[in-house]
Copies of this chain bind each other. A is one copy, B any other.
Amino acid sequence: MTMNTKTAEYGISDLSREFEVTTRSIRHYEDIGLLTPQRRGKTRIYTPADRTKLKLILRGKRLGFSLEESREIVEMYDPDQGNTTQLNSLLERIQIQREKLKQQLNDINTMRHDLKEAEAACRKALNKISS
């Protein structure tokens, strides 16, 4: 894809390379409406906003989110800054995500603690052998 220093834009393989994800996946995210790049002819053109959305999707994946769950996150990124009702529902959804992350943090910390113990036991066993 040809570079453009003014208004940054990316080709599909630019994003594919940068985030180490297949173009098939990127197109799939479009299929289900998570991304909506513009076209130059038939070719997809991604804006920085699109790129950010992709980043959010992939981060979600790493955290075990389904694409539908990631949709929640992505749609927070450019909400219809419309009416009070919508803004309030957005606040609610933000809260829900917060709770989820809190639970994940708990799980991670428990797991880290367990791994610490496992490592200690492991080192202890190694010491016994070498002595």
Question: Of all chain B residues, which has the CB nearest A88?
Answer: B126
Q: Which residue of B lies closest to A52 (CB)?
A: B114
Taking residues whose C-beta sits less than 8 angstroms from the other chain, chain A's interface range is: 35 or more
Report the minimal beta-carbon distance from A97 to chain B, rounded to whole angstroms: 6
Interface stretch (choices A18-26, A28-36, A39-47, A61-69): A61-69
**Which residues of chain B come closer than 8 Å to A73, judged between CB atoms?**
111
Which residues of chain B come closer than 8 Å to A107, judged between CB atoms? 59, 62-63
Chain B residues with Cβ below 8 Å from A91 are: 119, 122-123
Q: Which residues of B contact A61 (CB under 8 A)?
A: 64
Question: How close is A54's CB to chain B, nearest CB, in angstroms?
Answer: 15
Assembly CA distance A98 to B109 (angstroms): 11
- Residues on A facing B (Cβ under 8 Å): 59, 61-65, 73, 76-77, 79, 81, 83-84, 87-88, 90-91, 94, 97-98, 101, 103-105, 107-108, 110-112, 115, 118-119, 122-123, 125-126, 129-130
